Amino acid sequence: MGMQVFTARRGAWSRRTAVEVPMLMRKSLFFLALFSLIHIPTMLMAAESSSGFSTDRLWVLLAAALVFMMQAGFLLFEVGSVQPKNATATAMKNLVDWTMVSLAFFLFGFGFMFGTSAYGWIGTDLFFLNGIHAEGTSPLGFEFFMFELAFAATAATIISGAMAERTYFATYLVLSVFVGFIIYPIFGHWAWGNLFIESNNPWLAGLGFIDFAGSTVVHSVGGWISLVGVWTLGPRLGRYDKDGNLKELATTGLAWTAAGVFVLWLGWWGFNGGSELALNDNVGSIIANTNIAAAASGLACFAHCWHFQKRQQITEKFMGGILGGLVAVTACCSVVTMTGALAVGLTAGIIHNISWDFIIKKMKLDDPVGAIPVHLVCGIWGTLCVAIFGQQALLNHPRFVQLGVQAIGILACAIWTVGISIVVLKFLKATTGMRVSPTEELAGLNIGAEFHHVPDEVESIDEDELKALMGDDSEDES
Amino acid sequence: MSDPFVTDFDQVSLQVGEGFNLISKEEYLKIPATQRVRQILDRKVQFLNEGKVVPTKAALKTLQQRKMSVIDNDTLSEVSNQAKENS
């Protein structure tokens, strides 16, 4: 029989291998999984006792992986929402985010955010991760770095969706570096600067500001930069008609966007659950709160759009609303009960819809993926929800004082992020330009023109022609 | 009957460095005339109407028709003289 196999015709051999190899793989995977189930807990316990390895570190690393996976979620969400002619270019910008932020955060960002604090305003060491295992730092070390790096990249990638389909690649690249290098880490230090070095006393955390996993620190920062970016950039060509009415543009496929929502939803379990920085009794309730808020927000958003907004853009709003619920509960998932999380989600869904119409239809800020209502508006709402729906015993101040502190944190974030974004984006606008050319934009950015950037064949007019044109004008005037 | 070689525009795309910026017609007309002429000669301008590119000459003729001239003859001569001196 064995010889028959070797002397069989190529097609028969191929068919047989095509059947047998997957069978073999399935069997191997089964035994591997069985082996893992039996032995990994034992190995973990042994490792924990012998080498200082802990399940906390494993959990943070796993959570970092989940948050990293959110990049793929954002990619799917954005690619599905943009026009097919820009899908690849949009995906490239997501890749650029991780690449640039990885470097920027390693070089300086991590140090500015978590290094030894200078008067509570900025970190001053841990650059290039030097001293990450020094005395007085968290034992989480590199696991903590990977987890926080994934957070920094999340703040950056929010912007790519809002500015999609018309931003000049090099300009976006520089902006992305600025986000990972300075914009995100500085504000992050104010709120979270004592997470890695406990003796630090960052000023906002010192006031008692609570933002458990980053409704403001991560999402509003990305949202504010998106707002300034979209305002500086202008809308996509053809997005609004002459009277300023919104025009629907084709999408690659909202099914991809829905797939992105699922990936993000799962990733958020790591985003919020991992922010506990330990595998303890709170993690389960944090993840449950996260899930219920997203579901409630999706339902509220859908029902609100159905009854009060004439079902306009209901699919986009439903998907954005789910993300809005996730963003809102991010700040408060550790201090609310399940009922509180439900309330956070229900309100976030409605706020998302109202702000979507206000920002995109009334203000005419063209945000192709609805990043501003999701990340900025729901981020602000979630930060306030800490004081509104949080359990008093888990707050740092009486409820109304806590509300004031939360408002200070939101305001500080707005002033810092908007201020520095305006400076950076105005500088880029004056030096490199913000957009691709109209010809490139209309043709689509997938063809690679954006990356090679061949200038357009703009219609040329020589001086004589121009003179003739102006001459006609002078004749008219005379 | 309207002239097919005259097309109105509502936005202007200006090249800055390697990228471009999009500005409204009103903002464009605030740019000094000499600078606007230089930009046209350097092929750094594209005129747009409702999101579509409009031929430069057609857009300039619109300005003529509406008596919103891009440049007067004195400014043009000044720029031309400068260009000749530079060359």
Average pLDDT for residues A50-54, to the nearest whole number?
A: 63
Contacts of A32 (CB under 8 A, 6+ apart): none
Give me the pLDDT at residue A16, please.
38
Please say whether the beta carbons of A240 and A32 come within 8 A.
no
> What is the residue-averaged pLDDT of chain B?
79
Q: Does residue B59 sit at the A interface (CB-CB below 8 Å)?
A: no
Dihedral angle of Cα A431, A436, A439, A442, to the nearest 10 degrees: -150
Each residue's pLDDT tens digit, A276-312: 999 999 999 999 999 999 999 999 999 999 999 999 9
In A134-163, the residues whose Cβ lies within 8 Å of chain B are none
Give me the pLDDT at residue B1, please.
41
Picking from A333, A322, A328, the residue whose alpha carbon sits closest to that of residue A275 is A333
Instruction: Report residue A2's pLDDT band, with 50, 70 and 90 as the boundaries.
Output: very low
Average pLDDT for residues A64-76, to the nearest whole number?
A: 97
B20 vs A contacts (CB less than 8 Å): 168, 433-438
Count CB-CB contacts under 10 A for residue A97.
28
Q: Is the pLDDT score of A84 beyond 70? A: yes
Give me the pLDDT at residue A21, please.
46
Average pLDDT for residues A135-164, to the nearest whole number?
A: 94
A445 vs B contacts (CB less than 8 Å): none
The tens place of each residue's pLDDT in chain B, 87 residues long, gives 445 566 788 899 999 988 999 999 899 988 888 888 888 888 889 999 888 888 888 888 777 666 545 556 666 677 667 767 766
CB spacing of A477 vs B76 below 8 angstroms? no
Q: How far does A169 lie from chain B, in Å, by closest CA? A: 9
Count CB-CB contacts under 10 A for residue A242.
9
Instruction: Report residue A9's pLDDT band, with 50, 70 and 90 as the boundaries.
Output: very low
Q: Is the pLDDT score of A475 beyond 50? A: no
Q: Does residue B34 sit at the A interface (CB-CB below 8 Å)?
A: no
Give me the pLDDT at residue B57, please.
83
Average pLDDT for residues A35-42, to the nearest whole number?
A: 58
Q: How far does B82 lie from chain A, in Å, by closest CA? A: 12
For residues A344 and A337, give the distance between their C-alpha atoms in angstroms, rounded to a whole number.
10
Give me the pLDDT at residue A30, please.
64
Token pair for B34: 């000499």
Token pair for B20: 């471009």
For residues A417 and B50, give the distance between their C-alpha atoms in angstroms, rounded to a whole number.
33
Q: How far does B72 lie from chain A, in Å, by closest CA? A: 7
Give me the pLDDT at residue B63, please.
72
Is the model more confident about A433 or about A19? A433
Instruction: Report residue A352's pLDDT band, with 50, 70 and 90 as the boundaries.
Output: very high
Distance linking the first and last C-alpha atoms of chain A: 102
Average pLDDT for residues A445-460, to the nearest whole number?
A: 60
Instruction: Report residue A178's pLDDT band, with 50, 70 and 90 as the boundaries.
Output: very high
CA quadruple A46, A51, A57, A58: dihedral sign? negative
Q: Does residue B19 sit at the A interface (CB-CB below 8 Å)?
A: yes
Q: Is the pLDDT score of A474 beyond 50? A: no
Contacts of B56 (CB under 8 A, 6+ apart): A458, A459, A461, B40, B45, B46, B47
For residues A60 and A144, give the distance between their C-alpha atoms in angstroms, rounded to a whole number.
7
Which member of B43, B51, B73 has the closest CB to residue A237? Answer: B51
CB spacing of A438 vs B10 below 8 angstroms? no
Q: Is the pLDDT score of A459 beyond 80? A: no
Which member of A435, A455, A476 has the closest CB to residue B64? Answer: A476
Q: What is the DSSP letter of A356?
A: H
Give me the pLDDT at residue A216, please.
97
pTM: 0.84
Q: How far does A245 lie from chain B, in Å, by closest CA? A: 12
Strand-strand pairing, B45-49 and B52-54: antiparallel
Instruction: Report residue A7's pLDDT band, with 50, 70 and 90 as the boundaries.
Output: very low
Range in A88-97, A286-295, A379-388 with the lowest mean pLDDT: A88-97
Please say whether the beta carbons of B62 and B25 come within 8 A.
no
Q: Does residue A28 sit at the B interface (CB-CB below 8 Å)?
A: no
Which member of B17, B71, B83 has the closest CB to residue A431? Answer: B17
Q: Is the pLDDT score of A44 beyond 60? A: no
Q: How far does B7 lie from chain A, in Å, by closest CA? A: 15
For residues A385 and A299, give the distance between their C-alpha atoms in angstroms, rounded to a whole number.
19
Each residue's pLDDT tens digit, A206-240: 999 999 999 999 999 999 999 999 999 999 999 99
Average pLDDT for residues A94-100, to the nearest whole number?
A: 92
Q: What is the DSSP letter of A240?
A: B
Q: Which of B22, B50, B57 to mutate to test the interface with A (most CBs of A within 10 A)?
A: B22
With pLDDT > 70 as the criterion, what percentage of chain A qualifies?
83
Total count of residues recorded for chain B: 87
Average pLDDT for residues A69-87, to the nearest whole number?
A: 96
